[in-house]
Amino acid sequence: MMKYRLLPATLFLILSVFMSAPLQAKTADDPKSKPKVVSLSASNYSSEVKNGLVFVDFWAAWCGPCRKMAPVLDQLAADYKDLLKVGKVNVDNYKKFSIDMGIQALPTIVVYKDGKEMERITGVVSKDDLVKVVEKYSTK
């Protein structure tokens, strides 16, 4: 008798997985849904920041404020995809590089314009504050 009680729940679970699979595949392939966020490493850092306006987010998975900033940066990358590149450096994966870059607090966003560091933003900031930075350096 117990197996019949589990049958509807099991069927629901199976159907929900199959029903959502095509939807996930479609949004994953949709270029509009993918923000331009680049994973950066010590080896590709210089080449990724040398052209245009680039925000580099130094973050860690265990950092609550970093997790809070992630969707804000994703949205910024999507909204300003023609003006801005957003890169992310996981400080746990690149400890020495992060220290060499002078990162002392998380999250830290380093703003580059054509390879030159323009400013650093530390801590949680609003999307509006980041938009002001984009506008400040995209007009110059």
Residues belonging to the active site? 63, 66
Q: Give, in order, the Cα–Cα distances in Å from 58 to each of 3, 69, 88, 123.
A: 50, 11, 6, 11
What are the φ/ψ torsions at residue 93 (nearest 5 degrees)?
-85, -25
Q: Determine whether 34 is exposed, middle or buried from the number of CB atoms within 10 Å of its CB (0-12, 13-18, 19+).
A: middle
CB-CB contact of 60 with 91 (8 Å): yes
User: Which residues, at least 6 apart from 33, have a Cβ–Cβ distance to it below 8 Å?
Assistant: 27
Hey, what are 22's tokens? 């095509």
Strands 108-113 vs 116-122: parallel, antiparallel or unpaired: antiparallel
One-letter identity of residue 110: V
